[in-house]
Amino acid sequence: MRPFLTIFILFFTLHFAFSQDKKAKKLLDEVTAKVESYENISIDFKYALQNTKENINQESKGSVILKKNLYYLNFMGTTKLYDGKKVYTIVPEDEEVTISKIDEKDENAITPSRLLTFFNNGYKYYWDILQDIKGRKIQYIKLVPISSKDQRKEILLGIDIQTKHIYNLIEMGKKGTKTTLTVNSFKTNQPLSKNQFTFDESKYKNYYINRID
């Protein structure tokens, strides 16, 4: 009787876990489809970095404009622009521009252009808690990196179940570092300048241009 009961419980547990993972995959697919349906996306966000062991507690705000794989990011006094070929990092405080190629081989990197769809590769995913945040139903999906070399322990991805938009992203590092990105504003299909993702070197004549690639 006991072996039968053990097998039954194990079967039930595995079936339940599989169903939950299937449920998580469906929601993530819906988020991806929603993101890919927009011509462009403009986001204002808050970023927080915490590590109690090292007494780190930092917060800052930023904004990013996305159009397919192109992006224009303003964060911590730095502007990053990707025109589809190269990344331009503009630092006004240092009067410096760094021009480099993007590392397309790094599938685990959460770059601005992959911020809303990064979860499609390199992770196991699990259905997690549902929270009511300011009247919004936020469903969390737990993402666990497949690579053992990844320094992140897990990522909690909060998804607004009504809009299918990402509300926040909580990243837990293996050494106790916690980073949280919360979306404060999510706008779609905004009118953009035709030069929104074009780097104009003439605007930075007094800057040091560092060409890495």
pLDDT given for residue 10 in this prediction? 47
State the CATH architecture for 2-211. Answer: Clam (2.50)
CA distances (Å), origin 164, targets 33, 42, 78, 112: 9, 16, 30, 19
Q: pTM of the prediction?
A: 0.84
pLDDT given for residue 8 in this prediction? 45
pLDDT given for residue 108 in this prediction? 52
Tens-level pLDDT at each residue, the chain (213 residues): 455 544 444 444 444 444 458 899 999 999 999 999 999 999 999 999 998 888 889 999 999 999 988 999 999 999 999 998 999 999 999 999 999 987 655 555 567 777 888 888 889 989 999 999 999 999 999 999 998 888 899 999 999 999 999 999 999 999 889 999 999 999 999 999 999 999 999 999 999 999 987
Domain ranges of the chain: 2-211
pLDDT given for residue 22 in this prediction? 85
Which pairs with CB-CB distance under 8 Å and at least 24 residues apart come from 139-143?
A: 139/27, 141/24, 141/27, 141/28, 143/119
pLDDT given for residue 13 in this prediction? 44
DSSP annotation of 37: T
